Structure 1
Amino acid sequence: MPDADPVPFSDAMDGPMYVVTAASGGQLAGCLVGFASQCSIEPPRFMVWLSTANRTFRVASGATHLTVHVLRRDQRALAELFGGRTGDEVDKFADVRWRPGAGGAPVLSEVRAWFTGRVEDVVPGGDHVGFLLSPAEQSPPDSAPAVPALRYADVRDLEAGHPA
């Protein structure tokens, strides 16, 4: 059988995209994240992986809580802000409405599905570091019609504010 062109790993992993926010030392940060997943049912746990090149990683390293926002397909502009710009150069929170959540982690007002988790552990994983979260606060139930989640395929053309 002839060698077939391999499917790029990222194409096989067309998962949801999230904006993860953090606050520590009087600083706010947030970035677009595609590496994240529930990892335990009991106790409930969620792992989010942040690039060590990102300012969000540096702020999150001192944070007690992170907020994970589930983006909808109609929120590409928010993905572009948090994924295509770097907090080293731009105040990403200047043009979005937000409020402090548990541990001060910013909760973005225009995102209907989110949760804030307490950082339980930090796990090295190469060029990304995993933050193990236990739920501390979550968005209220939403009765609005469901909109599909923003997925990797929807933002694959986005130029990152920082290289991975």
Structure 2
Amino acid sequence: MDEQAKKTALRHITYGLYVIGTKIGEDDVNAFTGNWVTQVSFQPPLVAIGVKKGTTSCDGILESRVFSVNVLESGQKDLAFKFFKPLKRVGNKFEDVEFYTSTTGSPILRDALSWFECRVTDVVDRGDHTLIVGEVVDAGVHRDGKPLTLAETGLFYGG
């Protein structure tokens, strides 16, 4: 196989950029920026996410069996980048990022374009990421807008 062709072809898969959150223990939350999100069923409404193994968020999702997906708006590259690294929780914020919780206790970013929350239904443990399927149990829209894409950031992920 031509390794460069493989990498280029896989990087042509289009991705959004999301902040994925979860409940950690009884009274804490965590979140990370992710791009492996897709809807896999209409009835029931199911989505799948890819989460790097061995991370606080992956462990939290597997333990709590819940997660949120915050859809970012075009132009919110800086917000996405904040969740590429660990953030310290201060009061009701991730540093200066305000959030609230709803049905699952997972964080919902006030500045997100829209959001949905899921309860884990299936887990596939393969490779360096865990594929987690969740049923959408709540959702909301903060405003109309165009979702942020990975291409808009100038970053490449995949290959």
- The answer, yes or no, to whether TM exceeds 0.5 is yes
Per-residue displacement from partner, 1:105-132 (whole Å, max 9, x unpaired)? 1111111311011111211131111121
Superposed, 1:73-112 pairs within 5 Å as 73-83=74-84, 85-87=85-87, 90-91=88-89, 93-112=94-113
The TM-score with structure 1 as length reference comes to 0.80
Matched residue SS, 1:72? coil
CA RMSD of superposed structures (Å): 2.3
For these two proteins, the number of residue pairs brought into alignment is 150
Cα offset, 1:141, TM superposition: 7.0
Higher strand share: 2
Structure 2 counterpart SS, 1:42: coil
**Pairwise CA distance, 1:40:** 0.9
Conserved? CA contact 1:67–1:115, under 8 Å: yes
CA distance in 1, matches of 2:71, 2:141: 13
Counterparts of 1:131 and 1:101 in 2: how far apart (Å)?
20
Partner of 1:152: 150
Is the 1:20–1:67 contact (alpha carbons within 8 Å) kept by the matching residues of 2?
yes
CA gap of 1:21–1:141, structure 2 versus 1, over 3 A, is closer
Note closer, same or farther for the CA distance 1:149–1:112 as it changes in structure 2 (3 Å cut): closer
Residues 119-152 of structure 1: per-residue CA shift (max 9 Å, x gap): 112111311111211111111474x4x2x32112
The aligned residue for residue 57 of structure 2 is 56
5+ residue gaps in structure 2?
none
- Distance in structure 1 (CA, Å) of the matches to 2:86 and 2:10: 22
Q: Is the 2:18–2:70 Cα contact (8 Å) retained in structure 1?
A: yes
- Normalised to the residue count of structure 2, the TM-score between the two structures is 0.83
Give deviations 1:76-110, integer Å, cap 9, x for gaps: 11111012x125xx447131111112221111111
| Percent identical residues | 23
Partner-residue secondary structure (3-state), 2:97: coil
Distance 1:118 1:44 in 2: 11
